[in-house]
Amino acid sequence: MSFVTINDINPKVLKCEYAVRGEIVLLAQRLQQDLQEKPGSHPFDEILYCNIGNPQSLNQRPITFFREVLAICDHPAILDKSETQGLFSADAIRRASEILNQIPARATGAYSHSQGIKGLRDTIAAGIEARDSFPADPNDIFLTDGASPGVHMMMQLLLSSENDGILCPIPQYPLYSASITLHGGTLVPYYLDEATGWGLEMSELKKQLEDAKSKGITVKALVVINPGNPTGQVLSEENQRDIVKFCKNEGLVLLADEVYQGNVYVPEKKFHSFKKVARLMGYGETDIPVVSFQSVSKGYHGECGKRGGYMEVTGLRHEIREQIYKLASVNLCANISGQILASLVMYPPKLGDESYESYIAEKEQILSSLARRAKTLEDGFNNLEGITCNKAEGAMYLFPQLHLPQKAIKAAEAAKKAPDAFYARRLLDATGVVVVPGSGFRQVPGTWHFRCTILPPEDKIPAVVHRLTEFHTAFMDEFRD
């Protein structure tokens, strides 16, 4: 066999972990194949994927207006045909024409400017201004294939060695731990306080920063995920102000993962961008670097497969922006459909447009249903012995804590698995429900969780709760101390 062995591989790659598509998911895919080939071969008739924020894979329909515009932009030749008027709404045709006029040579098949098509960045900047009531500069926008490449770019820029650290929430979305590992830096953890609804305590931030400094680590940036992934909390504006002040005082770049900005389910909380909070505090462009990540994959639209997104880079010097531009250039540009979609998401139909009412109806239907699903699942978890679960105020996830009996922990040890991975594996085998063990996101040592999305179709949520309840009751009966 090939002369390349595992010892020849970059150890950073070997070390990197990415649980969202880990062992449990591969097993689930095998089980699904089993069920197709031999129906009845398992104690369930379908796999219910609650492991990944991928709404359209669970039959969520795309927003009609967005897809109309994308289809026309993909094949602009149909603009000259009479049938097009019957197939597409008038404002989708108009918007697609406007977008095509913004693209040099109307070429949706051409590489764009490395930061993305200027006209689309203008639109996105207008959308950010409408959201924040503060100016946004199209030259600050870097369009990316989803949010992930932007995060990688910033990590690549900021991390030179393991002496460079990034403060990251724990639990965290494993893109951060994976990216920091791949770029050879050190993840400096700060723990979210589960007891206060995954609160972000300033004392904890300070303690962890000092601790890292005492180990000789230069902390470059603070990652905040708001709304939270996997934890589903929405930060209060006061908390955000404290965080901004902390970054300003400590000289940290604020890396704000704001991809769930469109997913807030409770009336008492609102999304505020960190840039807006900083501006409200009187901090201008030159006072604090804030990089905001946004994605078309999340929100009510959930267009994961389109790989669209952007980062808004503010407060970094010109010569550093040039380095980011160079990194963006090495990959040429983000895909144009994703770029177009990012502009649509940030600047959707307006009151008076032909599609406005259907657009709002589609959006509200999805968001209100997600809110109901979150509540039903949260209540379902909290009804179970030995499970406590904070509210999903936003994002797409619940992150219930498993208070496992010692016997279960011992059984997991015997099976050489983390207790939450042991639980998730048993859950999958018994019910076909796929969740991600908390250890994939990191957690307070000695605590065990799993991440469960709120995305299964609403009519399947009772079945999810029912299967979980049956399984969990039996599990506790089997392992009760």
Give the interface segment with its own copies, choosing from 75-83, 349-357, 437-445, 459-467 (CB under 8 A).
75-83
Residue from 30, 43, 46, 57 binding its own copies (CB under 8 A): 57
Across the strands, what pairs with 189? Answer: 168
Structure tokens at 86: 């019957």
Taking CB under 8 A as the binding criterion, the range among 9-17, 229-237, 271-279, 435-443 that sits at the site for its own copies is 9-17
Shortest Å, Cβ 63 to its own copies: 9
Tell which one of 9, 202, 360, 474 touches its own copies (CB under 8 A): 9
For position 249 contacting its own copies by CB under 8 A, the verdict is no
The footprint of its own copies on residues 270-299 (CB under 8 A) is 286, 288-289, 297
380 binds its own copies (CB under 8 A): no
Binding mask 117-146 for its own copies (x = CB under 8 A): ----------------------------xx
Using alpha carbons only, give the angle 174, 183, 329 rounded to the nearest 5 degrees: 105
Confirm or reject binding of residue 342 to its own copies (CB under 8 A): no
Applying CB under 8 A, the span of 1-9, 37-45, 273-281, 435-443 interacting with its own copies comes to 1-9
Binds its own copies (CB under 8 A): choice among 200, 311, 336, 396? 336
* β-sheet bridge partners, residue 449: 401
Name the one range near its own copies by CB under 8 A: 208-216, 332-340, 345-353, 369-377: 332-340
In the region spanning residues 209 to 248, those forming contacts with its own copies, defined by CB under 8 A, are 220
Spatial contact of 228 and 169, defined as CB atoms under 8 Å apart = yes
Judged by CB under 8 A, does residue 20 bind its own copies?
A: yes
Q: How far is the CB of 78 from its own copies (least distance, A)?
A: 5
Q: How far is the CB of 376 from its own copies (least distance, A)?
A: 22
Tell me, residue by residue from 166 to 195, as one string, x for binding to its own copies by CB under 8 A and - for no binding: ---------x--xx--xx------------
Of 60 and 382, which has the nearer Cβ to its own copies? Answer: 60
Q: Which stretch binds its own copies (CB under 8 A): 333-341, 365-373, 406-414, 423-431?
A: 333-341
Which x/- pattern, by CB under 8 A, does the window 77-116 give for its own copies?
xx--x-xx-xx----------------xx-xxxxxx-x--
Q: Judged by CB under 8 A, does residue 16 bind its own copies? A: yes
Q: Determine which residue in the list 335, 376, 382, 388 makes contact with its own copies, applying CB under 8 A.
A: 335
Helix-helix angle 148-158:318-330, to 10 degrees: 130
